[in-house]
């Protein structure tokens, strides 16, 4: 080994604490990057493999009732490969031991089972047998939630008739990877499930002989999706088609793909912070090393080493630290990615887990880290290269402190000498001090941005479920009914108030922009759904025109006063124009509201409702639920409390995992930055500290001089960190914004406090590590030598 390389290894060993701290910070960045990219890639590959193997359809359309011959015409649309007309209905289930009504999607399959599109993955049991109309295959997640297995029975209200169904098999389907019930925001396996039944049984149950109300199709490679969608809409319109959707808008797939997008967002935002801090620390450690090795540098040059050789020698130190960080990060990222992918696999119930991290994630992480730290160290290495040998062999000029260095010096006059020392030290190198504070602040910021999710979720729940949705339950009716039906609901046990609303499928157009959205008809003066504007004051539903969520208006590029073309996707499919009369902000979905009378007017129907909002006496739940399960007109029941609970459970759990990660990463960052800053200060000021010891200062007192500076920078880091935390929250919120959710910008004081306290503890640990070194200061050796 070349002696210089041997020196390099020894330097690295001597600086192992600091090198490890930097390596761990780089490792955190690399791990997050590899984890997110690997999980995203694996999720995509798993989903695609699942989709391909089980023939996930390309296009989905629902219709009121179309004769089977229409399916044959659809099959002839150019580009269409295969069609599968189906019957998909909703039924309420009554499950023994579960009080609340359960909603199920009943999906027809051929009996005996002949796999076509959206093939089922049979996990246990068998498919229904011919002639056994009561046999069903249940979705695995749903079955598990209710401890059902082949042989279990359940009661279903199918088109008003109560039937006993027997579960004969459990299955998964690429169509229901993210199985979300009607109107729900998150999956709830207890209250929503999918049951696959023989086509014949459903035909009989819903009077759909030789007809279908749902069709899925696959396309040939290269088929024109827009023209196929257009053609399907044209063919289905006479039969009550509500518009075909492509795979990318299919709800389950949308969620899966959205998750992948979010992972890419994480990969883009967080590693940048870690790598920037890593670069700064690399610069700091290298600059210090070069300062202490001036004479060696002079010697090397005197021996005839060129500038480039000297610069490269020091750059290699950075490369070595980065390489260590990258290696740790690779391993950590690989395992975190595997773990995250397996969490997704369980959540999405992929039949096979494909962990395919791909070399790209690793290569990108390594390259980005190396570029970041080398660019951080390049300045210091260049300074080393530029030192003329003769000058290098002289000791450096002592740092010059003068009274002219700023008004702050006056400010230090009222302090004791020990405080003056560190205060002036920090002010002498303000950029370095600021960057150190920013590094620690970044840790606080990262923690805030992670903990803020909990605040955001609370706020979302508060805003959506308590301020806006004032009802305890929404009963979706099978079809529209005269609004006198609300009176019938009012007579049910435990119902305190009932309000008829109406949901109508529509497509809103503005020029070439269009968006499919349910138009929600709200009665004037609704007590059970209250919309508010930015300032929190209640918005009155205008008698005419549209009330749009701001996000929808943005998507359609429309503002108040302009008109939208409304293409109703139900009934006679009227197309009308209506003005946008007001916008409002909502965190969830992209709803569009109208006065219910205006909506009915649009459909040329009077006083119709298809969703009844209920306020319920909580003591009479049981009786009410028992009744609701028996009412044929009831399509589904959505309970607010259950929805809130599921929201917390599904989102909260994921977030808790992230918060744990982030806490770990933030602590690494805080400890790494503080430890490095203090070690460098110790190296620079070891002589002064030893002098103080000789003068009769106790270890605790010199510890104050050293740790005092760190403490001061940590204190400065708190407001900076809070600001960065808010900024990061803004960036993350906008990156994570989807059509479904907008993350509200709320950071509770407790969140700032928690993040600060965690980081303070982390810096305290770093302080203790350095403090222990002070006890071993070699007073004599330090004083005997000239620096």
Partner 1 sequence: MVAQTSAPASSAAEHRPTLIGSGLSKTYHAGEVAIHALRQVDITLYEAELVVLLGPSGSGKSTLLNILGGLDTPTAGEVRFRDHALAGASDTELTRYRRDHVGFVFQFYNLIASLTAAENIALVTEIARAPLAPAEALATVGLADRVDAFPAQLSGGEQQRVAIARAIAKQPDILLCDEPTGALDSRTGVLVLEAIAQVNRDLGTTTALITHNATIADMADRVLRFADGRIVDVQENAVRKAPGELSW
Positions that interact with partner 1 (CB under 8 A): 397-403, 416-418, 420-421, 424-425, 428, 687-688, 691-699, 701, 775, 779-780, 783-787
Task: Output 97 or 696, the one with its CB closest to partner 1.
Answer: 696
**Min. distance of Cβ 682 from partner 1 in angstroms?**
15
Q: Which CB sits closer to partner 1, 407 or 780?
A: 780
Q: What is the dihedral of CA 89, 90, 92, 95, to 10 degrees?
A: 80
CB proximity list for 277: less than 8 A, separation 6 or greater: 25, 439, 442, 669, 672, 673
CB of 681 to partner 1, least distance (A): 12
Smaller CB distance to partner 1: residue 402 or 577? 402
Other CB atoms closer than 10 Å to residue 656's CB: what's the count?
13
Would strands 575-584 and 546-549 be described as parallel, antiparallel, or unpaired? parallel
Closer CB to partner 1, residue 98 or residue 697? 697
In sequence order, what are the residues at sequence separation of 6 or more whose Cβ sits closer than 8 angstroms to the Cβ of residue 121? 54, 171, 172, 173, 351
Residue 481 vs 688, nearer CB to partner 1:
688
How far is residue 315's CA from residue 10's CA, in Å, rounded to a whole number? 15
Distance of closest approach, residue 683 Cβ to partner 1, in angstroms: 15
**Toward partner 1, which CB reaches closer, 416 or 534?**
416
Nearer CB in complex with partner 1: 268/687: 687
CB of 694 to partner 1, least distance (A): 5
Closest CA to 475 of 504, 500, 505: 500
Relative to beta strand 245-246, strand 513-522 is: unpaired
Write down the least CB distance from residue 722 to partner 1, Å: 30
DSSP state string for 231-281: HHHHHHGGGT----EEGGGSHHHHHHHHHHHHHHHHHHHHHHHHHHHHHHH
Shortest Å distance, C-beta 783 to partner 1 = 5
Q: What is the dihedral of CA 451, 457, 460, 463, to 10 degrees?
A: -80
Return the H-helix or E-strand segment holding 64: strand 59-67
Instruction: State which residue, 190 or 428, has the beta carbon closest to partner 1.
Output: 428
Tokens representing 779? Answer: 């007073």
Which of 97/395 has CB closer to partner 1? 395
CB of 691 to partner 1, least distance (A): 4
First to last CA, the chain: 30
Residue 394 or 572 with smaller CB distance to partner 1: 394
Would you say 96 or 775 has its CB closer to partner 1?
775
Using N-to-C axis directions, what is the helix angle for 749-774 and 430-460, rounded to 10°?
140
| Strand partners for 499 | 613
Q: Which is nearer to partner 1, 388 or 696 (CB)?
A: 696
Min dist. Cβ of residue 419 to partner 1 (A)? 11
Q: Which is nearer to partner 1, 210 or 400 (CB)?
A: 400
What is the strand order of the sheet 211-219 is part of? 80-86, 211-219, 59-67, 245-246
DSSP 8-state symbol, 158: E
Task: Give the distance, in angstroms, between the CA of residue 135 and the centroid of all CA atoms in the same chain.
Answer: 39
The sign of the CA dihedral 546, 551, 557, 559 is positive
Cα–Cα distance, 295 to 289 (Å, whole number): 11
Q: Which is nearer to partner 1, 403 or 491 (CB)?
A: 403
**Cis peptide, bond prior to residue 443, ω within 30 of zero:** no
Q: Residues near 354 by Cβ (< 8 Å), separated by ≥ 6?
A: 42, 45, 46, 49
Closest approach of partner 1 to the CB of residue 413, in Å: 9
Local structure of 468: helix, strand or coil: helix
Tell me, letter by letter, the H, E, C secondary structure of 404-454.
Answer: CCCCHHHHHHHCCHHHHHHHHHHHHCHHHHHHHHHHHHHHHHHHHHHHHHH
Q: Could you give the C-alpha distances from 751 to 24, 267, 748, in angstroms and in order?
A: 25, 24, 5
Distance of closest approach, residue 733 Cβ to partner 1, in angstroms: 44
Residue among 429 and 664 whose Cβ is closer to partner 1: 429
CB nearer to partner 1: pick between 1 and 775: 775
Closest distance to partner 1 from the beta carbon of 555 (Å):
59
Closest separation between CB of residue 699 and partner 1, Å? Answer: 7
Cα 185 to Cα 253, 587, 642: the distances in Å are 15, 12, 11
Rounded Cα distance between 675 and 482, Å, is 72
Least distance to partner 1 from the beta carbon of 763, Å?
Answer: 23
In the complex, what is the shortest distance from the CB of residue 777 to partner 1, in angstroms, rounded to a whole number? Answer: 11
Q: Are 548 and 558 in contact, with CB atoms under 8 Å apart?
A: yes
Give, as one character, the DSSP assignment of residue 588: B
516 vs 687, beta carbon nearer partner 1 = 687
Question: What residues pair up with 616 in beta bridges, in sequence order?
Answer: 495
Provide, rounded to whole angstroms, the least separation between the CB of residue 459 and partner 1: 48
Shortest reach from residue 771's CB to partner 1, in Å: 14
Q: Which of 39, 43, 20, 657 is nearest to 327 (CA)?
A: 20
From the CB of 401, what's the least distance to partner 1, in Å? Answer: 5
Region for 312 from its dihedrals, namely left if φ exceeds 0, alpha if ψ lies in -120 to 50, beta otherwise: alpha
Q: Which CB atom, from 96 or from 695, has the smaller least distance to partner 1? A: 695
Residue 580 has φ and ψ, to the nearest 5°, of: -85, 115
CB of 403 vs partner 1, minimal distance in Å:
7
* Cβ neighbours for 660, distance < 8 A, ≥ 6 positions apart: none
Q: Are 603 and 609 contacting, i.e. CB atoms less than 8 angstroms apart? A: no
């Amino acid at each position: 080994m070349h002696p210089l390389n041997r020196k390099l290894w020894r330097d690295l060993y001597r600086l192992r604490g600091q090198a490890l701290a930097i390596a761990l910070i780089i490792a955190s960045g690399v791990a997050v990057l590899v984890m997110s990219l690997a999980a995203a890639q694996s999720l995509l590959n798993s989903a695609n493999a699942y989709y391909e193997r089980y023939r996930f359809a390309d296009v989905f359309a629902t219709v009121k009732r179309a004769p089977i011959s229409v399916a044959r015409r659809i099959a002839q649309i150019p580009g269409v490969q295969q069609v599968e007309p189906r019957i998909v209905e909703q039924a309420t289930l009554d499950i023994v031991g579960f009080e609340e009504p359960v909603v199920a999607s009943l999906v027809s399959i051929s009996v005996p089972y002949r796999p076509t599109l959206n093939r089922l993955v049979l996990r246990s049991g068998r498919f229904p047998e011919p002639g056994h109309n009561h046999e069903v295959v249940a979705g695995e997640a749903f079955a598990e939630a209710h401890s059902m297995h082949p042989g279990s029975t359940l009661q279903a209200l199918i088109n008003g008739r109560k039937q006993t169904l027997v579960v004969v098999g459990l299955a998964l389907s690429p169509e229901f990877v993210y199985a979300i019930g009607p109107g729900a925001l998150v999956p709830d396996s207890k209250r929503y499930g999918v049951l696959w039944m023989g086509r014949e049984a459903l035909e009989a149950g819903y009077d759909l002989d030789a007809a279908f109300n749902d069709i899925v199709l696959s396309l040939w490679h290269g088929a024109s999706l827009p023209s196929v969608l257009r053609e399907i809409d044209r063919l289905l319109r006479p039969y009550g088609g509500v518009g075909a959707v492509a795979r990318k808008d299919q709800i389950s797939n949308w969620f899966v793909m959205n998750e992948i997008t979010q992972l890419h967002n994480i990969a883009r935002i967080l590693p940048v912070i870690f790598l920037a801090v890593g670069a700064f620390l690399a610069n700091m450690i290298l600059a210090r090393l070069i300062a202490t090795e001036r004479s060696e540098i002079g010697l090397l040059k005197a021996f005839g080493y060129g500038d480039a050789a000297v610069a490269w020698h020091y750059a290699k130190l950075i490369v070595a630290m980065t390489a260590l960080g990258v290696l740790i990060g690779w391993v950590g990222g690989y395992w975190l990615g595997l773990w995250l992918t397996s969490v997704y696999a369980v959540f999405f119930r992929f039949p096979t887990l494909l962990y395919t991290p791909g070399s790209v994630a690793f290569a990108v992480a390594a390259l980005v880290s190396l570029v970041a730290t080398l660019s951080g160290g390049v300045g210091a290495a260049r300074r080393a290269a530029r030192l003329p040998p003769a000058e290098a062999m002289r000791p450096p000029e002592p740092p010059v402190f003068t009274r002219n260095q700023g008004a702050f010096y006056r400010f230090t006059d009222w302090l004791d000498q020990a405080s003056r020392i560190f205060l002036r030290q920090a002010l002498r190198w303000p950029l370095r001090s600021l960057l150190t504070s920013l590094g620690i602040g970044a840790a606080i910021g990262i923690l805030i941005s992670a903990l803020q999710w909990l605040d955001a979720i609370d706020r979302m729940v508060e805003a959506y479920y308590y301020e806006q949705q004032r009802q305890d339950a929404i009963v979706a009716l099978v079809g529209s009914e005269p609004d006198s039906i609300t009176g019938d609901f009012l007579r049910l046990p435990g119902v305190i108030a009932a309000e008829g609303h109406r949901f109508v499928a529509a497509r809103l157009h503005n020029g070439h922009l269009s968006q499919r959205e349910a138009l929600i008809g709200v009665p004037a003066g609704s007590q059970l759904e209250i919309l508010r504007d930015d300032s929190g004051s209640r918005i009155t539903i205008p008698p005419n025109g549209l009330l749009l969520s701001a996000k929808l208006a943005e998507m359609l590029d429309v503002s108040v006063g302009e008109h939208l073309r409304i293409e109703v996707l139900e009934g006679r499919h009227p197309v009308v124009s209506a003005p946008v009369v007001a916008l409002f902000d909502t965190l969830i979905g992209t709803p569009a509201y109208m006065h219910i009378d205006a909506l009915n007017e649009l459909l040329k129907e009077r006083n119709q409702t298809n969703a009844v909002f209920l306020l319920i006496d909580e003591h009479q739940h049981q009786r009410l639920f028992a009744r609701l399960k028996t009412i044929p007109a009831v399509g589904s029941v959505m309970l607010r409390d259950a929805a809130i609970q599921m929201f917390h459970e599904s989102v909260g759990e994921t977030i808790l995992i992230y918060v744990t990660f982030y806490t770990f990463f933030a602590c690494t960052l805080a400890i790494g930055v503080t430890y490095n800053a203090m070690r460098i200060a110790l190296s620079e000021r070891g002589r002064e500290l030893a002098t103080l010891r000789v003068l009769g200062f106790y270890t605790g007192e010199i510890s104050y001089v050293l740790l005092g500076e760190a403490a001061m920078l940590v204190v400065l880091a708190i407001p900076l960190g809070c600001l960065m935390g808010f900024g990061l929250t803004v960036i993350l919120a906008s990156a994570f914004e989807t059509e479904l959710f907008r993350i509200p910008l709320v950071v509770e004081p407790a969140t700032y406090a928690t993040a600060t306290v965690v980081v303070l503890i982390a810096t305290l640990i770093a302080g203790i590590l350095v403090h222990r070194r002070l006890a071993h200061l070699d007073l004599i050796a330090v004083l005997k030598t000239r620096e």
